[in-house]
Structure 1
Amino acid sequence: MYESVLVATDGSGSANRAVEAALDLASTFDAELYAISVVDTRRYGESALSGSKNVVDDLEARATELLREVETRGDVTAVTELRRGRPHVAISNYADDIDADVIVLGNRGRGSGGEIGSTAERVVRFADRPVLTT
């Protein structure tokens, strides 16, 4: 059913559940697992961060750490990708690049309240493939 599964992670509890679900799907269907983490410099104001290489480096280091955690969880090998930009655009573009059969992501990010997060909503709305939210 699935040959390739893409999971997006930002380190939130919801994203961690998405990673577990993606690992299960990839294992069950013997599918390729891809993981992406997106550094959203726009969240903090691109102009504010443009002169602060240390802040961007710290954000990228955290994202790299999250991707390494995906690589070491479970018995499925993951191909990882770190990107900068708007998360929903980067996730959708990477899904297109790898021709993912399904995208798995948390329904709430780090800053969300009780409703579906803006990134999850945008991916669900604009992705041209199935999206599973956890």
Structure 2
Amino acid sequence: MYDTIVVAIDGSADANRATTHAIEQAEQHGAKLHAVFVVDTDRHSEPALSSMELETIEIEEWGNDELAEVAERGDAVDVEVTTRCCHGKPYVEIISYADEVDADLIVLGYHGHSHSKGNQIGSVTDRVVQNAGRPVLVAT
């Protein structure tokens, strides 16, 4: 049913649950798993010789560490994981990457780090669900 799955991560508890679901689905279906972390350029400026450059570099390094953890979790159950860290608007980058790899499924957490209301879907997840044009599994 699924050949290619994209999971979007941000280090949040919901993203961790989404990763668990994505790995389970990839293992069950023999699918390729792609994990993506987006440095939100609305929240973190693009690097440009300023104090923001250090913050952006730190966020990117943290994202790469999170991606490496997803790859390790996949390796533990023989699921191949391709990772990508990119910069932009998270929902745009997630959808774009899913389009690029022709994903059969996108897996996201209910909300991420920046979301403050626990009972309301996060804005990135909501925008992906509304605009992806492909199945989206939302982990809670």
Which residue number corresponds to residue 35 of structure 2? 35
TM-score, normalised on structure 1? 0.94
Look up the SS of the partner of 2:22 in the other structure: helix
Aligned with residue 132 of structure 2, among 106, 127, 131 = 127
Matches within 5 A, 1:64-75: 64-73=64-73, 74-75=76-77
In structure 1, C-alpha distance between the alignment counterparts of 2:55 and 2:34, rounded to whole Å: 26
In structure 2, C-alpha distance between the alignment counterparts of 1:132 and 1:26, rounded to whole Å: 13
Report the CA distance between 1:77 and its aligned residue. 1.6
Which residue number corresponds to residue 103 of structure 1? 106
Q: Which runs of 5+ in 2 are unaligned?
A: none
Which residue number corresponds to residue 59 of structure 2? 59
Which residue number corresponds to residue 18 of structure 2? 18
Report the CA distance between 1:131 and its aligned residue. 0.4
The RMSD of aligned alpha carbons is: 1.3
Report the CA distance between 1:58 and its aligned residue. 0.2
Which residue number corresponds to residue 91 of structure 2? 88
Aligned with residue 79 of structure 1, among 64, 71, 82 = 82
Report the CA distance between 1:54 and its aligned residue. 1.1
Q: Structure 1 counterpart of 2:42, which letter? A: R
Q: Structure 1 counterpart of 2:96, which letter? A: N
In structure 2, C-alpha distance between the alignment counterparts of 1:108 and 1:56, rounded to whole Å: 21
Instruction: Answer 1 or 2: which has greater helix percent.
Output: 1
Aligned length: 132
Q: Deviations over 1:31-52 (max 9, x none)?
A: 00000000002124x38x7423
Look up the SS of the partner of 2:113 in the other structure: coil
TM-score, normalised on structure 2? 0.90
Stretches (4+) displaced over 3 A: none
